[in-house]
A and B are shown apart, each in its own frame.
Chain A
Amino acid sequence: SQKIEQNSEALNIQEGKTATLTCNYTNYSPAYLQWYRQDPGRGPVFLLLIRENEKEKRKERLKVTFDTTLKQSLFHITASQPADSATYLCALDDGSARQLTFGSGTQLTVLP
């Protein structure tokens, strides 16, 4: 069956360090993978999209990698700040480019 797994439900790191979040999937052949941020009581906010033929994408302090052989995406936040504390969701399509399936998220807490 198809499955999306994100590493550990909660991740705590010290301010200034790099946070690395993992998204693994099985039985998908996605054309796209996306990362979202969700704050309590709010809808998810789109951060980055990476295509299957792209290895890496960057946006300010954010970096995403996509390894279709390992079936894994890594999401990095460098020089993390307490304001980065939120739940981060990965999402991918099933190859149809019609709709996304979301992982259950990783709750990141950046400690001052």
Chain B
Amino acid sequence: GAGVSQSPSNKVTEKGKDVELRCDPISGHTALYWYRQRLGQGLEFLIYFQGNSAPDKSGLPSDRFSAERTGESVSTLTIQRTQQEDSAVYLCASSQQGVIYGYTFGSGTRLTVV
């Protein structure tokens, strides 16, 4: 597609519920990243996928967070048993080959846990 697409754009959920966020990267981009941005703060790295290599999960804050990617296409980020501190904008980005190319970000999913 023309850009990175994320859905939903907004999600309000009750504490304790599970949520699933979706990211459609740019076709042909082998690298895909998830970041979290809390209000007024910088981007916090969550997870990185590169082709068929094992993902770099070093940024996931707890075992309630998980992510999958099917080949070089769609990725889903799942948060189980959501907590209020999970409220943030979740940003997905893709690039051609890691950091040597600039990232293209989606507009993010704004998650609010009430």
Stretch at the interface among A11-19, A60-68, A75-83, A95-103: A95-103
A32 to B45 CA separation, bound complex (whole angstroms): 17
Q: Kindly report which residue of chain A lies nearest to residue B104, judged by CB atoms.
A: A46
Report A-chain residues with C-beta under 8 Å of the C-beta of B106: 43
A41 to B33 CA separation, bound complex (whole angstroms): 19
Cβ contact within 8 Å between A89 and B107: no
Please give the distance in Å from B43's CB to the nearest CB on chain A: 4
Report B-chain residues with C-beta under 8 Å of the C-beta of A103: 42
Please give the distance in Å from A106's CB to the nearest CB on chain B: 11
Interface residues on B, range: 20 to 34
| B50 is an interface residue with CB less than 8 A from chain A | yes
| B48 is an interface residue with CB less than 8 A from chain A | yes
A89 to B56 CA separation, bound complex (whole angstroms): 23
Known: A42-B107, A46-B104. A93 touches B99 (CB 8 A): yes
Report A-chain residues with C-beta under 8 Å of the C-beta of B91: 43-44
Q: Kindly report which residue of chain B lies nearest to residue A32, judged by CB atoms.
A: B99
Report B-chain residues with C-beta under 8 Å of the C-beta of A49: 100-102
| B79 is an interface residue with CB less than 8 A from chain A | no
Cβ contact within 8 Å between B99 and A102: no
10 additional contacts, CB 8 Å, given A42-B107, A44-B91?
Answer: A31-B99, A34-B103, A36-B103, A43-B106, A43-B108, A47-B102, A99-B33, A99-B48, A100-B33, A102-B42
